A and B are shown apart, each in its own frame.
Chain A
Amino acid sequence: MNNDTLIPLIGVVTDIRQDTPDVKTFRVNAIEGGKVFEHMPGQCAMLSIPGVGEGMFSITSSPTNKEFMEFSIKKCGCLTTWLHAMDVGQQITIRGPYGNYFPVETDLKGKDLLFIAGGIGLAPLRSVINYVRDNRANYGDVQIIYGSRSKDDLVDYQEIIDEWQADPNIKVNLTIDREQEGWDGHVGFVPNYVKELNPSTNKTVLVCGPPIMIKFTLAGLKELGFTETQVYTTMELRMKCGVGKCGRCNIGNKYVCKDGPVFRFDQLGELPDEY
């Protein structure tokens, strides 16, 4: 019988990085080394620990990384708590890649890009950011606005400082919600910071974060003169199959696992407000 997407493959956790108090980034390899499968930026994978549960996570590493995949996972439920308790060497099941991806090879090519992320919302965007960095000539200006509750909650902080901020071709603006000792950067919520920075409206925007942040960011962008067709986001709803059959992750007639997770806001605007 042919392979079935519901029958997973095995991955090995080869590195675990504690990013924030509740976010860890897991490096996953195939048993024989290398990647379990290839993907595009924004796509997701179903990870599971048999007997505990299965869940959809965005692949945070860039496809240009040829050695491994990475997943930044926030501890918030049963499965993620188990994942956070794992040690290096643990095997997990993995299937995918699922969903569409940010149009890095089509609509985004040649564009000035503005990434806006809040908290763990950086995870799916990090894949695109590093993809763009590795194919830098294909894109225009790159600006990243990223905020979190506190300095300790900034995911991938080390990479942001060491690589992104050090890159003269990228502009990075960080913010945290409240004043904190040892932080001399910007303080304030992401949507307000975006308005303060007043980015040029010829940019294409990729935004991801908590629903409330996305909502206010979009409203702010519109005030600045951006149109919905310029703004992409990536969605998350409850998923089981990953291939548009189990029936739960739909927004109207679109399945987030299959037709998404990446949507442009004008596309979302045509769908019911049920997410």
Chain B
Amino acid sequence: MLKISADKLNSLFDAISAKQTLYITVDNEKGSAEYKKYESGMTLSKSLNTVRSAKDFFFPQTENLADFKVEGKNIEVIDVREESEDFVVFGVRACDARSFTILDKVFLSEPVDSYYKNRREHSTIITMACTKPAETCFCTAFGMDPTVPEGDVAVFSDGENYFFLERTEKGKKFIASISDMLEDGDTAKLNEVQEKARNIMKKLPLANLSTKSFGGERLMKHFNSEKWAELSESCLGCGTCTFVCPTCQCYDIRDFNTGHGIKRFRCWDSCMYSDFTKMAHGNSRNSQLERFRQRFMHKLVYFPANNNGEFGCVGCGRCLSKCPVSMNIVKVMKALEDKE
């Protein structure tokens, strides 16, 4: 397999970023990882994953949809869309890479969301195989192998080298574009590292988490479960789980008066919020129980019902780390699963 030695990784980043915008994962001053636009001298994060997921690249927290000029009774619609620049994201984990295929099912289904599609088409996703999963990881429950992630190119580290595996046509082109910096490498040590990671995977505390109690056919059973009252009891109704989640994609559309025109923008929204379904004449989900239930039913039942059984969770573990009251999808799944 083609590889580059670890000490040359930054020169590779320099070379990529000379041609197109490159984002890599870096550690911030507080020790947590985030995606940053690469500038010479930055080093790739050692953390397992970023706090904010990689969905931001395609579905940003806020984005302008259109502008309006209002003059008297007349309205002019201004299309503000611009062709996205080509960009490369380096260091995406298997879970986040899978989240893109889930987001694709929403945004690229008819009618196609041109904002999302534009950025998606201009991106090259370089994933990074996991070698040290955390105790909060459970991507294997959703059928992933984090030692061989999806993406356009998968990168594997054996500690001394980074190996490059093309996974799509786009990835093939990308590797060709940097091939002068790569050399053929021996993968013996890499295989060892992978084997070790796979063994760890089996020992993860959540390795036995099962999805077999979930899916579209369990809709009414789970919806009517008595467990929701206890599960949702301590929920604060904040949007942390939603916003750190790589697959949550609900949005709001709002207008903002800039003083010299109206900006219509889309922003992240959360089904956990009390006004999410509020109308002038009523609210279809009045209680936090209903809102809490909606979020987990969507991931575990409604999404698979509409997408051939595919779940709307990738097991990244962010909600496990970040919920202020430590409620999360794992606790929900364990409470609702069939007891033999």
Contacts and interface: CB of A to CB of B under 8 A. Distances in A.
Physical contact A–B (CB less than 8 Å): yes
Interface in B79-110: 79, 81, 83, 106-107
B16 interface: no
Interface residues of B, number: 56
Contacts of A50: 68, 70, 75, 255, 262, 264
Contacts of A246: 250-253, 269
A6 interface: yes
Interface in A76-96: 76-78, 80, 87, 89-93
B115 A4 contact: yes
B279 A237 contact: yes
Greatest chain B CB density within 10 A among A52, A89, A253, A275 is at A253
Interface in A173-193: none
Contacts of B303: 253
Interface in A7-35: 7-10
Given A51-B262, A238-B276, A7 B77 contact: yes
Nearest to B279: A238
B280 A77 contact: yes
A171 interface: no
A241 B220 contact: no
Interface in B112-135: 112-115, 118
Interface in A144-189: none
A104 interface: no
A91 B81 contact: no
A253 B305 CA distance: 7
B278 interface: yes
Contact of B81 (A4, A250, A253): A4
A245 B114 contact: no
Interface in B204-226: 216, 219-220, 223-224
B106 A80 contact: no
B65 A7 contact: yes
A2 B110 CA distance: 13
Nearest to A8: B77
Contacts of B306: 253
Chain A interface residue count: which class?
35 or more
B339 interface: no
Contacts of B107: 245
Main secondary structure of the interface of B (DSSP, over half): mixed
Nearest to A90: B73
A53 interface: yes
Interface string B57-87: 0000000011010100111110101010000
A247 B216 contact: no
A162 B253 CA distance: 42
A243 interface: yes
B256 to A, nearest CB: 8
Interface string B11-34: 000000000000000000000000
Contacts of B44: none
A205 to B, nearest CB: 24
A3 B115 CA distance: 11
A107 interface: no
B249 A245 contact: yes
A89 B73 contact: yes
A96 to B, nearest CB: 11
A75 to B, nearest CB: 9
Interface string A227-245: 0000000001110110101
Contacts of B301: 253
Nearest to A210: B281
A223 interface: no
B3 interface: no
A4 B253 contact: no
Given A245-B251, A272-B223, 17 more contacts: A2-B114, A50-B255, A51-B70, A53-B255, A77-B281, A87-B73, A91-B73, A93-B75, A238-B277, A240-B251, A240-B252, A241-B253, A248-B269, A249-B277, A250-B302, A252-B305, A253-B219
19 contacts: A1-B79, A2-B114, A6-B266, A8-B77, A10-B76, A50-B68, A50-B255, A78-B280, A87-B73, A91-B74, A238-B279, A246-B250, A246-B253, A248-B250, A248-B269, A253-B303, A270-B220, A271-B219, A272-B219
Q: Which 9 A-B pairs have the closest CB atoms?
A: A77-B280, A247-B250, A50-B68, A253-B302, A50-B262, A253-B305, A4-B114, A76-B280, A272-B223
